[in-house]
């Protein structure tokens, strides 16, 4: 009986130890601030200004304030510095009917490499597209050839092959909507999405 | 002895059936670990796997760090998450459709610190992501924020 009581007590301590929590909304890189709604027992607190803070102590009392950037770094620095690099994506453009990059896009790709190589384990999805010149099936093949071409270029530059996937979407997802059989440079592209 | 053998055989069959079932309903990747420092592991199906950069994160995984640990994860909807030292974060639910950007994401921070930069599913639907703590539920409406549970 005593043991059971001790067990119950231990369980109670384990599950009902009062906890306190702090939530702080941070400004994004462009200064924009989003919204977090903290909800409990039917009550809610809306945090939507830079550094607005909700602190709920172990007794359940909530205090609203504004934390300083320095205090945020103090309390959350390790977690913040562990955040992965922000995903990036860019388009590369192609010469009509071919899987050859335009001169500008060759330059763009070499510029992007530095940013891509900063990531220790990048996950890269390369998606090829065409304009509406030619037949659907031919464009499916061409879009994939373009994506594969960019994938090979990335691998040649030293990015890990097993972390780069390539797909072709043919003429289905134009950047600029056109009639059929329209040569449109902006639609002859490969999207490179890097996480 | 016979009983034990049959129990073992039954367990074996159950395990086999579960394995087959798991194979059929194989969870899609929810994200990938990008940064790891100090002691950090992933709990999956009752097993503890040391965290490493590049490792795939699945729905139902729990991220656990020790006193010197931290880890950062990029989800498939481009949401970024990271935990600081002495933290436990469960990925309770995760689904994301990369074509429609519809999805839902429930995570719970049992203890420690968490930083979040929300991703595409939150842009698509303001109700897509929730972070629970022992005392509250946070609805994430497209933002960067930090949480600490002491």
Looking at the structure of chain A, the number of domains it has is 2
Of the candidates A81, A96, A117, which is a domain's last residue? Answer: A81
Q: Which residues of B touch A (CB under 8 A)?
A: 32-35, 37, 53-54, 70-74, 78, 80-85, 87, 111, 113-115, 117-118, 133-150
Which of B71, B134, B141 comes nearest A37 by C-beta? B141
My answer on whether A70 and A154 are in the same domain is no
**Domain ranges for chain B:** 28-149
Tell me, yes or no, whether A1 lies in a domain: no
Q: DSSP assignment, residue B29?
A: P
My answer on whether A22 and A75 are in the same domain is yes
Residue B18's pLDDT is what?
Answer: 47
My answer on whether A100 and A55 are in the same domain is no
Of the candidates A29, A57, A81, which is a domain's last residue? Answer: A81
Residue A158 sits in a domain whose CATH number is 3.30.1330.60
My answer on whether A65 and A124 are in the same domain is no
First to last CA, chain A: 57
- Cβ pair B84:A82 closer than 8 A: yes
Residue A14's pLDDT is what?
Answer: 53
What backbone torsions phi and psi does residue A150 show, to the nearest 5 degrees? -70, -40
Three-state secondary structure readout of chain A: CHHHHHHHHHHHHHHHCCCCEEEEEECCCCCCCCEEEEEECCEEEEECCCCEEEEECCCCCEEEEECCHHHHHHHHHHHHHCCCCCCEEEEEEECCCCCCECHHHHHHHHHHHHHHHCCCCCCEEEEECCCCCCCHHHHHHHHHHHHHHHHHHHHHCCCCHHHEEEEECCCCCCCCCCCCCCCCHHHCEEEEEEC
Q: Can you give the pTM of this predicted structure? A: 0.82
Tell me, yes or no, whether A51 lies in a domain: yes
My answer on whether A36 and A120 are in the same domain is no
> Is A60 an 8 Å CB contact of chain B?
yes
My answer on whether A123 and A47 are in the same domain is no
Of the candidates A28, A60, A81, which is a domain's last residue? Answer: A81
What is the domain extent for residue A31? Answer: 18-81
Q: Answer yes or no: are the C-beta atoms of B145 and A47 closer than 8 Å.
A: yes
Which of A15, A67, A79, A163 has the highest number of chain B CBs within 10 A, making it the mutation to test binding with B? A79
> Is A119 an 8 Å CB contact of chain B?
yes
Q: Answer yes or no: are the C-beta atoms of B78 and A87 closer than 8 Å.
A: yes
Q: pLDDT digit string (tens) for A112-163?
A: 998 888 898 999 999 999 999 999 999 999 999 999 999 999 999 999 999 9
My answer on whether A108 and A129 are in the same domain is yes
Contacts of B111 in chain A (CB under 8 A): 19
User: Which residue intervals of B37-146 are DSSP H helices?
Assistant: 120-124
Band (pLDDT 50/70/90 cuts) for residue B1 is very low
Q: pLDDT digit string (tens) for A60-104?
A: 999 999 999 999 999 999 999 999 999 999 999 999 999 999 999
Does ipTM exceed 0.85? no
Tell me, yes or no, whether A73 lies in a domain: yes
d(CA A187, CA B75): 28
- Cβ pair B84:A84 closer than 8 A: no
Tell me, yes or no, whether A9 lies in a domain: no
| pLDDT above 70: residue B59 | yes
| pLDDT above 70: residue A29 | yes
Q: pLDDT digit string (tens) for B15-58?
A: 545 444 444 445 689 999 999 999 999 999 999 999 999 999 99
What's the mean per-residue pLDDT of chain A? 92
My answer on whether A68 and A153 are in the same domain is no
My answer on whether A104 and A39 are in the same domain is no
Report the residue of chain A nearest B53, measured CA to CA. Answer: A121
């Amino acid at each position: 009986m005593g043991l059971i009581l001790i067990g119950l007590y231990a369980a109670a301590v384990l599950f009902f130890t009062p906890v306190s929590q702090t939530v702080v909304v941070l400004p994004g890189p462009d200064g924009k601030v989003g919204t977090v709604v903290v909800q409990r027992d039917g009550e809610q607190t809306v945090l939507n200004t830079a550094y607005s803070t909700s602190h709920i102590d172990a007794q359940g009392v909530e205090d609203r304030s504004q934390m300083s950037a320095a205090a945020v770094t103090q309390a959350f620095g390790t977690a913040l510095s562990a955040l992965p690099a922000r995903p990036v994506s860019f388009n590369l453009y192609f010469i009509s009917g071919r899987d050859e990059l335009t001169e500008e896009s060759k330059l763009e790709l070499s510029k992007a490499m530095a940013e891509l190589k900063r990531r220790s384990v990048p996950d890269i999805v390369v998606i090829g597209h065409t304009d509406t010149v030619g037949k659907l099936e031919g464009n499916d093949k061409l879009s994939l050839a373009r994506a594969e071409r960019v994938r090979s270029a990335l691998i040649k530059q030293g990015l890990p092959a097993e972390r780069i996937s390539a797909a072709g979407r043919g003429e289905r997802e134009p950047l600029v909507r056109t009639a059929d059989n329209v040569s449109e440079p902006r639609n002859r592209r490969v999207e490179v999405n890097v996480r | 002895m016979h009983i034990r053998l049959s129990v073992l055989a039954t367990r074996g069959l159950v395990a086999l059936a579960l394995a087959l079932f798991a194979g059929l309903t194989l969870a899609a990747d929810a994200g990938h670990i990008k940064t790891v420092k100090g002691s950090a592991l992933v709990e999956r199906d009752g097993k503890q796997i040391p965290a490493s950069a590049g490792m795939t994160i699945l729905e139902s995984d729990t991220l656990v760090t020790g006193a010197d640990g931290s880890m950062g994860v990029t989800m498939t909807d481009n949401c970024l998450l990271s935990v600081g030292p002495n933290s436990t974060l469960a990925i309770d639910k995760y689904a994301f459709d990369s074509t429609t950007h519809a999805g839902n994401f429930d995570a719970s921070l049992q203890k420690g610190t968490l930083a979040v930069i929300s991703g595409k599913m939150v842009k698509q639907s303001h109700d897509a992501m929730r972070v629970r703590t022992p005392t509250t539920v946070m609805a994430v409406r497209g933002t960067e924020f930090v949480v600490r549970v002491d």
